[in-house]
Amino acid sequence: MAEITRRTFVKLAGVGMASTVLAACGMNRDNTQQLLPQPVSTPSADFVPDVEIALRAIEDRVEVRSGTQTDVWRIEGNLIKGDDGVVVPVAGSYLGPTLHLKKGQKVRIEFTNELPEVSIIHWHGLHVPADMDGHPQYAIDKGETYYYEFEVLNRAGTYWYHPHPHGRTGPQVYAGMAGFFIISDDEESALGLPTGDYDIPLVLQDRTFDDNDQFVYNGGGMMDQMIGFLGDEVLVNGVPDFALDVANRAYRFRFLNGSNSRMYKLGWSDGTPFTVIGTDGGLLEAPVTRPYLTLAPAERLDIWVDFGDRSVDTDMKLVSLPFDNGNMNSPEFPILTATIARQSTDTATLPSQLSTPNFFDISQAEQTREVVLAQRMGSGWSLNGRQFEMTGVAEEETIRRGSIEIWEFINKGGGGMSNLPHPMHMHGESFKVIERQTSSGGQTAWDTLSEGVVDEGWKDTVLVMPGQRVKVLRRFGDFTGLFLYHCHNLEHEDQGMMRNLEIKA
């Protein structure tokens, strides 16, 4: 019964999309090349991809802990067209392959779902047309294929991909479905930052194992529903006790918090400060220094880490420091050990200027919209009192294409269970964090994490602590249609803390 309803819905959605696209082509000739209209189920004959990738979501078993197999769901990839190095599998891990694309490339990705439930993949942080964004209305069944075709418009940076089906994002990501989507561009390449073996993506994910070394997920439980899933150990790139041999030279580490709900407060155990060079949407204007790093779910931080003055055979340990944050208190966790294993003669220097971010000016904002983040009694979480509806969009969520606006996320906090951080994410173009205000009631929790927060640079996910109001400035272009904004605590998202916004011509 549910099956029939869903199939009917997909068909209707397909028809609706085709007519919207046709109308848009007729009326906006200057935008036809960016709209790249596509039917859902077949590749387009007039889209000529530079890169073509096949991704499959499969059930598999992976040796996460040594000596035993853990059941996972994961994304497997093959390169159909393009250079070697576009699809890089993560050896010995459930993670999906790391995809390496260049700004300006046209990419076709055929995604085949071989899981026993519906799924769809979202390219987190990418600016793509609405029907290429992995909105849950396009979720496909087992045996079906969805063709994505888009041009890479984003700046160089550390993006990622993960499933986005309605109500099932948390369990699917937890089961192993996620991967890096790394974009390079000429501006970044000209800097001569560390590349290849010296550029290391690192995703942090917490998991709980049962006695048979299987993942335990209890996202339906009362506490997980309210707080979000918190595992009892941290895997890096899908591996427990992650260890890395490095040369005594400079590296670029790209941290992604790929956890469902857990926040991290990353610190080197010897107190070495961090040099941050990038955030969600790519390189900062100039490097910034932090004593530790606060990383909320879905956020990325790229750091420049120089082992150049360390002697061979010493090591450095990265931990998540304990912090006190209402209902999301966190103990100390080991994260990784970097062993300086070889001498290097390579010297790289950190550029003092990294990029020209071209931020918008606040004076360009046409209006401010407020989004109140709150609990709904007995039924999860809400945004301005509303919960997710598949294609539902309120008047105040309708935006004119190309407009620049301020969105203010308001986390009143409050007592008991509602006292939680919410990492707010918007699909489509990146934003700039322009203001963060903390109420006196929220100050204590904020003080435990504030020095590690990096609000600089282009962002797509921003931490909103209990008692805070955070304003972001962004443009809503170039594509019309339904895009999502939501809390990236995946249990909150699955429990309704997500809405559509509609960009209209």
Q: Which residues here bind ligand C2O, judged by CB under 6 A?
A: 122, 124, 162, 164, 298, 425, 427, 484, 486, 488
Q: Which is nearer to ligand C2O, 166 or 310 (CB)?
A: 166
For residue 354, the partner it binds in ligand C2O, Cu ion, none, with Cβ less than 5 to 8 A by kind, is none
Q: Which is nearer to ligand C2O, 52 or 493 (CB)?
A: 493
For residue 489, the partner it binds in ligand C2O, Cu ion, none, with Cβ less than 5 to 8 A by kind, is Cu ion
Torsions phi, psi of 153, nearest 5?
-100, -15
DSSP result, 286-318: EEEEESSEEE-TT-EEEEEEE-TTSPTT-EEEE
Residue 486 Cβ vs ligand C2O, minimum distance, rounded to whole Å: 6
SS (H, E, C) 450-480: HHHCCCCCEECEEEECCCEEEEEEEEECCCC
178 lies in the site for Cu ion, by CB under 5 A:
no
Pairing between β-strand 498-504 and β-strand 282-290 as defined by DSSP bridges: unpaired
Tell me the C-alpha to C-alpha distance, in Å, between residue 53 and each of 81, 113, 159, 173, 179. Answer: 7, 14, 17, 20, 14
Residue 388 Cβ vs ligand C2O, minimum distance, rounded to whole Å: 11
Candidates 86, 235, 487, 490; binder of Cu ion (CB under 5 A) is: 487
The tokens of 211 are what?
Answer: 């006695």
492 lies in the site for Cu ion, by CB under 5 A:
yes
Q: Which is nearer to ligand C2O, 124 or 471 (CB)?
A: 124
For residue 252, the partner it binds in Cu ion, ligand C2O, none, with Cβ less than 5 to 8 A by kind, is none
265 lies in the site for Cu ion, by CB under 5 A:
no
Rg of the Cα atoms in the chain = 22
Scanning 11-19, 44-52, 118-126, 203-211 for contacts with Cu ion by CB under 5 A, the matching segment is 118-126
Scanning 113-121, 137-145, 147-155, 414-422 for contacts with Cu ion by CB under 5 A, the matching segment is 414-422
Residue 43 Cβ vs ligand C2O, minimum distance, rounded to whole Å: 24
465 lies in the site for Cu ion, by CB under 5 A:
no
User: What is the Cα–Cα distance from 203 to 205, expressed in whole angstroms?
Assistant: 7
Tell me the C-alpha to C-alpha distance, in Å, between residue 408 and each of 108, 245, 358, 368, 383. Answer: 35, 43, 21, 7, 12
C-beta nearest to ligand C2O: residue: 124
Instruction: Determine if the peptide bond prior to 478 is cis (ω within 30°).
Output: yes
Closest by Cα among 121, 205, 223, 169 to 493: 169
Residue 148 Cβ vs ligand C2O, minimum distance, rounded to whole Å: 15
Tell me the C-alpha to C-alpha distance, in Å, between residue 504 and each of 34, 169, 195, 429. Answer: 15, 27, 40, 15
Q: Which is nearer to ligand C2O, 94 or 292 (CB)?
A: 94
**Cβ contact 59:71 at 8 Å:** yes
Residue 422 Cβ vs Cu ion, minimum distance, rounded to whole Å: 3
For residue 487, the partner it binds in ligand C2O, Cu ion, none, with Cβ less than 5 to 8 A by kind, is Cu ion
For residue 298, the partner it binds in Cu ion, ligand C2O, none, with Cβ less than 5 to 8 A by kind, is ligand C2O
Residue 501 Cβ vs ligand C2O, minimum distance, rounded to whole Å: 12
Scanning 13-21, 27-35, 249-257, 421-429 for contacts with Cu ion by CB under 5 A, the matching segment is 421-429
**Cβ contact 226:417 at 8 Å:** yes
Pairing between β-strand 300-306 and β-strand 250-257 as defined by DSSP bridges: antiparallel
Candidates 124, 168, 254, 265; binder of Cu ion (CB under 5 A) is: 124
User: What is the Cα–Cα distance from 14 to 11, expressed in whole angstroms?
Assistant: 5
489 lies in the site for Cu ion, by CB under 5 A:
yes
Scanning 89-97, 151-159, 197-205, 416-424 for contacts with Cu ion by CB under 5 A, the matching segment is 416-424
For residue 162, the partner it binds in Cu ion, ligand C2O, none, with Cβ less than 5 to 8 A by kind, is ligand C2O
For residue 492, the partner it binds in Cu ion, ligand C2O, none, with Cβ less than 5 to 8 A by kind, is Cu ion
**Cβ contact 74:106 at 8 Å:** no
Q: Which is nearer to Cu ion, 124 or 436 (CB)?
A: 124
Torsions phi, psi of 417, nearest 5?
-60, -30
Cα angle vertex 246, ends 245, 250, to 5°? 160
422 lies in the site for Cu ion, by CB under 5 A:
yes
Which residues lie near Cu ion (CB under 5 A)?
A: 124, 422, 427, 487, 489, 492
